[in-house]
Amino acid sequence: MNSINNIGVFRGRTLLQTRGSIGGSRQVFVKLQGDKNELVYPPIGGLIMNPFKGTAKAFAGDLCEYDPLMMGEMPVIKILKTYKVVSASGTTVNIERTKYSHIPFVGDILGVAPDTIGGTGTAVTVNAVTKTKVGTTDVWALTTSTALSASGGDILVEYAPNGKMLVANINAVIDCDLDFLYEPADPFSEGYEDEFDKARYFYAPSLRATMLESKMSPIPECVKKLNLSNVKGWFRVDCFGHNYMETYGLLEEDQVQ
């Protein structure tokens, strides 16, 4: 049975609901007059390397890394997923749960954002996710593999298996909400090259945008440093903007001038 295409037979009755709103939106992009040149897409686009492990959403204005990996390799996209810590104690981490929050899943490897984007930090694996409240605040209570040293206000990000922050650069933006509906294949897993049936997502992000910080998903400090806007409260991404890659040591050794 191929559940991805909703093919199958159940002779009983299935009760299933969804709820939400259609048509409303939270305006994250700064409304500017005049000719803009922001819906600019790169050649090809890329494979999303870190799709959500279940039904979830990436939002308009979310930041991502577009890596063309030229010289015969494959272009990829890594979405910056962020989770705001409400409180943490031992192996329980409570993260903010709103209708505009990225949803955590069992198997996610998360840690407090490092000082430098793409840097090293302590990461834990999420073993369980429970919807609950801390006081009057809706949270997801994450049960983690080991204790995570985190405080309220910290921002968690995804980590790669090598212990570094998964997203190593910010140069592109999600230009509209994206619904992830299917169980994805994991490009980092063994056996990925034999995977045909699980979902693989191809996407072309926008290479420029200006967002209202207050409307964006939570931004860790290491990402705030990459803001190209000189207007307080606006976050500007422009893949053709100031080259901060050398400043923040993101260039390979042979690329440093």
Give contact residues for another protein (rule: CB under 8 A). Answer: 2, 5, 7, 35, 43-47, 70, 72, 74-75, 179, 181-182, 193-196, 200-202
Q: How many CB atoms lie within 10 A of CB 2?
A: 8
Least CB distance from residue 185 to another protein, whole Å? Answer: 8
Closer Cβ to another protein, 144 or 206, answer by number = 206
Contact 214, 231 (CB under 8 A): no
**Structure tokens, 2:** 């191929």
Find, among 191, 223, 215, the residue nearest to 79 by Cα: 223
**Can you give the length of the chain in residues?**
257
Least CB distance from residue 186 to another protein, whole Å? Answer: 12
Rounded to 5°, the CA angle 126-129-135 comes to 120
Closer Cβ to another protein, 107 or 192, answer by number = 192
d(CA 231, CA 156): 26
Find, among 158, 176, 175, the residue nearest to 167 by Cα: 158
Closer Cβ to another protein, 46 or 111, answer by number = 46
Closer Cβ to another protein, 38 or 213, answer by number = 38
